[in-house]
């Protein structure tokens, strides 16, 4: 399980086998998040959780979070 995220955090996530940059738009109670994909027509992914290696190939989720992206602040 990854870090706790908050609304506005940027993440690298996978959607149907392709990597995307997304933004957390809602934190859901079951340790999952609603994510808006920034580079894919603003597609919204519901119930996205952190990547966990599946025990069986059929248990692979169509979308998941890989890492939180660090935003560099400009002075």
Give pLDDT tens digits for 3-48: 789 999 999 998 888 899 999 999 998 889 999 998 768 889 999 9
Q: What is the pLDDT of residue 52?
A: 83
Q: Chain centroid to CA 52: how far?
A: 12
- Let me know how long the chain is: 75
Structure tokens at 16: 């149907």
Has residue 74 got a pLDDT over 60? no
The C-alpha atoms of residue 74 and residue 40 are separated, in whole angstroms, by: 26
Note whether 67 and 10 are within 8 A (CB).
no
């Amino acid at each position: 399980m990854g870090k706790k995220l908050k609304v506005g955090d940027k993440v690298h996530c996978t959607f149907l086998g392709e990597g995307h940059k997304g933004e957390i738009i809602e934190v859901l109670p079951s340790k999952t998040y609603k994510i808006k994909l920034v580079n894919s027509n603003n597609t919204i992914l519901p119930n996205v959780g952190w990547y966990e290696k599946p025990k069986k190939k059929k248990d692979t989720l169509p979308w998941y979070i890989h890492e939180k992206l660090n935003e560099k602040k400009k002075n």
